[in-house]
Amino acid sequence: MSPGHLNQTLSNPLTSSDVKQNTRTICLDQNIVHNVRESQPLTFTSVKHRNPILVLLLLLLLTSPCCRAGTYRDSVSIYKDLVLNSDYSPDVRPIWNQSQTLYVLTTFELLSIVEVNDVTQTFSCNGFLWMGWLNEILQWNKTLYGGESTISPKTKDVFRPRMTLLNTMGDRDLFKDDYAPVVIDSSGFTSWVPGSIFPVSCKLDLTKYPFDEQTCNIDMMLMNFAAEQLQFVAVHSEVGRHFYIENGEWEIKYTNITAEVLNISNSRTSSLVISFTLERKPEFLVLSILLPIVFLSLLNLLVFLIPVDSGEKISFGITVLLALSVFMSIIASMLPRSSESMPLMVRYIFCLLIISVLTVVDSIIIVRIHHMEQKEEKSDNYVERAMSPMIKPKLNGSLPLVSSLDHLTRLPGERESSPATSTSSQSEATGKTYKQIAKYIDIASLILFTIIWVAFTVEFIVSAAI
């Protein structure tokens, strides 16, 4: 449909011959015109998707040769007669009947995702917001101006909707100083494509980090008119991505553009909500953080296979414990300090840290039991050395009698046993018992902590996959 046809449907004062001469098309359907005529807000559903936003951008920068048929004087005359006319005010809605609603068609073209910050919970993207509306005041008969069909005045000289960014992290009046060109054709259809970086706040649910999905919105609201005076209309239900540059960390699952009416303090105003549903690409985080932690925790279980006599059993466990603590601090710096949505990954790493601490404590107990025999020998030797000066004088008179009795009770062929030999055999038996106990504890601990490690790992994988 040509702009002239649209203008004629909306009570355009141009003649039918002028309408036939306008051959340029815009992305509108007959149902849109009918809805505008019948004053049915926010019901513009039939839109041709075959014309991308590229056509709209090129419309602002390039015009065909037939559109430049006029001379310099013709263009100046249009500016003087219409734009610079004292009867025209850019602060008033450009419709003759001010009781009617002015509908502003909108769509969004995404260029790139700048950042999704997990710590500050913000979302930033680079894009253009296309807006188009019918200006009934700035209409002219191009045959009277040498065939000149388009003009591009300054943004401050013509009417444009003023919008505010509700959930912004920067300047709230985003387009107040925007110098994006405004293109107006002879039918009065006006196109304006301001572009900017949109920094907004976004509440992130990091429960399944780094296998999470996030939804971030850009909430824009009309500043200077009520919903009965001006309303936004979403031409397309999805964000355009004809010039989109892929992001290395996030993948766009789907987008949505909706025009809504907000009730604020007993007043209604039009708003535009641009929604992005993003899925994180977890490969980098899995390879650089998660898998090393899992391998370290698995390596920590092998402490029970290290012999006690090597002297490296406890030091090995402490080294792995310190490595897990370093990874824990790295992850803490990447996540917000909030307890509302604790990531499963943090809980999993904390459980692995507890397992590592318990293995170190268990290793210390095993080493102590293994060397229990040596400690008892040292204790017995110390007692014997302390008590021998007191016992020897008392036993000197009875030694011959004891020796003779021992000689009489000893069987033929039996060797005389010394007290040192008896004590040594008992110590060796006790030492073997303690070492066997330590070995059995090693085996039991390896099996027990392996089962616990597998249980926590499977629970984490299942929770992240659901």
Walk across the sheet containing 213-222 and list its strands. 163-165, 213-222, 267-280, 250-264
Instruction: Report the distance separating Cα 146 and Cα 67, nearest Å.
Output: 10
pLDDT of residue 93: 93
**Sign of torsion over alpha carbons 244, 249, 255, 257:** negative
Q: Are strands 102-117 and 230-234 parallel, antiparallel or unpaired?
A: parallel
Range list for CATH 1.20.58.390 in the chain:
284-371+440-465
Residue 376 exposed, middle or buried by CB count within 10 Å (0-12, 13-18, 19+): middle
pLDDT of residue 112: 94
Q: Which residue has the tokens 């698995």?
A: 298
Would you list the DSSP string of 98-153? TTSPEEEEEEEEEEEEEEEETTTTEEEEEEEEEEEEE-SSS---GGGGTT--EE--
Helices (runs of H) and strands (runs of E) counted in the chain = 12, 11
Q: Say if CB 184 and CB 138 are below 8 A apart.
A: yes
Kindly state the tokens that stand for 84: 């610079």
Kindly state the tokens that stand for 294: 């899992």
Residue 256: name the closest of 402, 359, 107 by CA. 107
Kindly state the tokens that stand for 48: 């041709």
Instruction: Report the distance separating Cα 414 and Cα 416, nearest Å.
Output: 7
Residue 258's SS3 state is strand
Instruction: Report the distance separating Cα 39 and Cα 103, nearest Å.
Output: 9
Mark 116-140 as b/e (b = at least 16 C-beta within 10 Å): bebeebbbbbbbbbbbbbbbbbbbb
pLDDT of residue 388: 58
pLDDT of residue 430: 54
**Residue type, position 30, single letter:** Q
Instruction: Report the distance separating Cα 61 and Cα 182, nearest Å.
Output: 10
pLDDT of residue 399: 46
Instruction: Report the distance separating Cα 189 and Cα 53, nearest Å.
Output: 16
Instruction: Report the distance separating Cα 43 and Cα 35, nearest Å.
Output: 7
Instruction: Report the distance separating Cα 447 and Cα 220, nearest Å.
Output: 59
Q: Say if CB 131 and CB 205 are below 8 A apart.
A: no
Q: Say if CB 298 and CB 453 are below 8 A apart.
A: yes
Kindly state the tokens that stand for 58: 């090129």
Residue 184's SS3 state is strand
Residue 356 exposed, middle or buried by CB count within 10 Å (0-12, 13-18, 19+): buried
Alpha-helix runs per DSSP H in 185-312: 283-285, 291-301
Residue 164's SS3 state is strand
pLDDT of residue 32: 40
Instruction: Report the distance separating Cα 435 and Cα 431, nearest Å.
Output: 6
Instruction: Report the distance separating Cα 458 and Cα 237, nearest Å.
Output: 41
pLDDT of residue 314: 87
Provide the residue-wise pLDDT of the chain in tens; the chain has 466 residues.
334 433 333 334 433 334 333 333 333 333 443 343 343 333 333 333 444 455 445 545 543 444 455 788 888 888 888 888 878 888 899 999 999 999 999 999 999 999 999 888 999 999 999 999 999 999 999 888 888 889 988 888 899 888 889 888 877 777 776 678 899 999 999 999 988 899 999 999 888 888 999 999 999 998 888 999 999 999 999 999 999 999 999 999 999 999 999 888 788 999 999 999 999 999 998 898 888 888 888 888 888 888 888 878 888 889 888 888 888 888 888 877 776 778 888 888 889 989 999 999 998 998 888 877 655 555 555 555 555 555 555 545 544 444 444 444 454 554 544 444 444 555 555 556 878 888 888 899 899 999 999 999 998 888 887 7
Instruction: Report the distance separating Cα 173 and Cα 162, nearest Å.
Output: 8
Instruction: Report the distance separating Cα 172 and Cα 363, nearest Å.
Output: 60
What topology is assigned to 3-281 in CATH? Acetylcholine Binding Protein; Chain: A, (2.70.170)
**Residue type, position 291, single letter:** L
Within 10 angstroms of residue 192's Cβ, the number of other Cβ atoms is 23
Range list for CATH 2.70.170.10 in the chain:
3-281
Q: Which CATH class is domain 284-371+440-465?
A: mainly alpha
Instruction: Report the distance separating Cα 152 and Cα 181, nearest Å.
Output: 6
Q: Say if CB 158 and CB 83 are below 8 A apart.
A: yes
Instruction: Report the distance separating Cα 298 and Cα 88, nearest Å.
Output: 77
pLDDT of residue 377: 52
